[in-house]
Amino acid sequence: MNPLTSVRGSLITGFVIAIIFAVLSINGGVNFNELGLARWLHIIAGITWIGLLYYFNAVQVPALAAAAADKGGPGGAGISKYVAPLALRWFRWSAVVTWLTGVWYLSRAGNLIGALALGHAGPEFNAYQFVIGVGAWLGTIMLFNVWVFIWPNQKKILGLAPATDEQKAAARKTALYASRTNYILSIPMLMCMAGATHGLPF
């Protein structure tokens, strides 16, 4: 079976190759543990989530608006029927996996409580926990937006849940604003996630 012919086959192959490299690295003396596993899965899920967030905001929404304005064109029905539901499935579940693996990583590293307290859990201020905590709280807000505002309203827009035309119009606005909020929050969130260990850019 050719792994390049399916999404599942490609993902499995990618994980197998990564595991082979990990085993070779361990045999070479590189430390690979549960903390490294949590970080790795967190990054993969996060790239999937934020990548789709950027796709929706920078590509799909403008494309659908252009399709609606083009009266002689093919319209956006194909995107709404086939692309959007699949993209939203990957989007919402990768958000959950990102959040859960983030909690797993912070917990195993002994930083969960400190991150939640924004560096104020101990007797002295912890700068790492503050920065990673800001990122974690922004990610939590974004996860909330996905499941409470974006997905329920997208179900109405796509006809996956019953809604009147007025309800669909209101759902479009709510889903757009929640998605744009996440688009905005992703920028400082990513800065904090990377900056906690690699330094802030300012």
* 202 has a pLDDT exceeding 80: no
12 plus 46 within the same structural domain:
no
Domain enclosing residue 113, as ranges = 33-198
25 plus 46 within the same structural domain:
no
104 plus 157 within the same structural domain:
yes
* 171 has a pLDDT exceeding 90: yes
| pLDDT at residue 123, as a whole number | 95
The pLDDT tens digits for 23-45 are 888 776 677 788 989 999 999 99
19 plus 80 within the same structural domain:
no
**Which amino acid is present at 4?**
L
21 plus 111 within the same structural domain:
no
24 plus 43 within the same structural domain:
no
State mean pLDDT over 116-122.
Answer: 97
70 plus 149 within the same structural domain:
yes
126 plus 161 within the same structural domain:
yes
State mean pLDDT over 111-128.
Answer: 97
* 179 has a pLDDT exceeding 90: yes
Q: How many CB atoms lie within 10 A of CB 112?
A: 20
pLDDT category of residue 201 using cuts at 50, 70 and 90: confident
Residues near 46 by Cβ (< 8 Å), separated by ≥ 6? 94, 98, 102, 193
| First-to-final CA distance of the chain | 49
| pLDDT at residue 26, as a whole number | 77
84 plus 14 within the same structural domain:
no
Report residue 104 as tokens.
């797993």
State mean pLDDT over 162-182.
Answer: 97
pTM: 0.92
26 plus 119 within the same structural domain:
no
Residues near 96 by Cβ (< 8 Å), separated by ≥ 6? 143
Dist CA 126 CA 124 (whole Å)? 6
DSSP per residue, 13-81: HHHHHHHHHHHHHHHTT----HHHHHHHHHHHHHHHHHHHHHHIIIIIHHHHHHHHH-TTS--SHHIII
74 plus 110 within the same structural domain:
yes
Tally the domains of the chain.
2
pLDDT category of residue 128 using cuts at 50, 70 and 90: very high
58 plus 25 within the same structural domain:
no
Regarding predicted confidence, which is higher, 157 or 32? 157
* 88 has a pLDDT exceeding 90: yes
